[in-house]
Amino acid sequence: MKVEETKLAGCFIIHDTVFEDSRGYFFESFNKQKFDALTGTNTTFVQDNQSKSTRGVLRGLHFQKGEHAQAKLVRVLEGSVLDVAVDLRKESPTFGQYVAVELTATNRLQFFIPRGFAHGFLVLSETTTFFYKCDNFYNKESDGGLIYNDSTVNIDWQIDSSELLLSEKDKLQPTFEEIKDTVYFK
C-alpha cells in the first residue's frame, strides 16, 4: 500500500499493491494498521455503502454536520467516476478548495476524505458500482450539502452540464457563499 497526500491536508489517494497472474488479481483493500500508520489517522469505519449509477449521474456534494461528521474511504468496483472533495474546514489554508481524482475499476485507486469535507462523484462510464466506508453513522438531521456547480469553488466536472443527471435534492443545495460563514467543522 502506498499513500499519496493531495493538496488538501488529510485527503489521501491510496495505491494498493495488486498481485496479478493468469487466474486474475488479489489485493488487500483495507488494513486498519497499515492505513492508520501511513495516513497518521486513527480511523474506525462503522458503515459500508454501495451504489450503482449510470453515465452522467452526479451524486453530491454531501456532508454530515457536527457530531455526525463522516470520514470516507471510497473506491470503484465497476466503471469509473470523477471523485471530488471540497475542504469546508473554516480554519484550513485550503478552505473552499477542491481536489478531483479519477477512480476506476482498472486503476483500483481509493480516495480517503476526512471529516470536514463535502464529497461527491460523477459517473464517467456507462455504469458504475461505487463503494465507500464511513467512520460515523448517517444521521438525516445532520445532512448538509453544497451545490455541484458553485461558481466560487468552480469544479471542473469534465462533462457538459446537459449530460448531468441529478436528484432534486442535489439541484437545490446551497452555494459556498451561503454556507461559508457557518462553522460546520473545525
Share above pLDDT 90 across residues of the chain, in percent, rounded to a whole number: 93
State the pLDDT at residue 182: 81
Q: Which of 30, 46, 35 is nearest to 12 (CA)?
A: 35
pLDDT per position as a tens digit, 33-92: 999 999 999 999 999 999 999 999 999 999 999 999 999 999 999 999 999 999 999 989
Rg (the chain; Cα; Å): 16
pLDDT tier for residue 185 given thresholds of 50, 70 and 90: low
Out of 98, 132, 148, 184, which one is annotated catalytic? 132
pLDDT per position as a tens digit, 108-123: 999 999 999 999 999 9
State the pLDDT at residue 181: 85
Out of 62, 98, 148, 184, which one is annotated catalytic? 62
Share above pLDDT 70 across residues of the chain, in percent, rounded to a whole number: 98
**Residue 178, pLDDT above cutoff 70:** yes
Establish whether 132 is a catalytic residue: yes
**Rounded distance, CA 117 to CA 126, Å?**
27
Domains of the chain: 45-179 (2.60.120.10)
**Residue 96, pLDDT above cutoff 60:** yes
Segment 147-161 mean pLDDT: 95
Establish whether 62 is a catalytic residue: yes
**Rounded distance, CA 109 to CA 165, Å?**
24
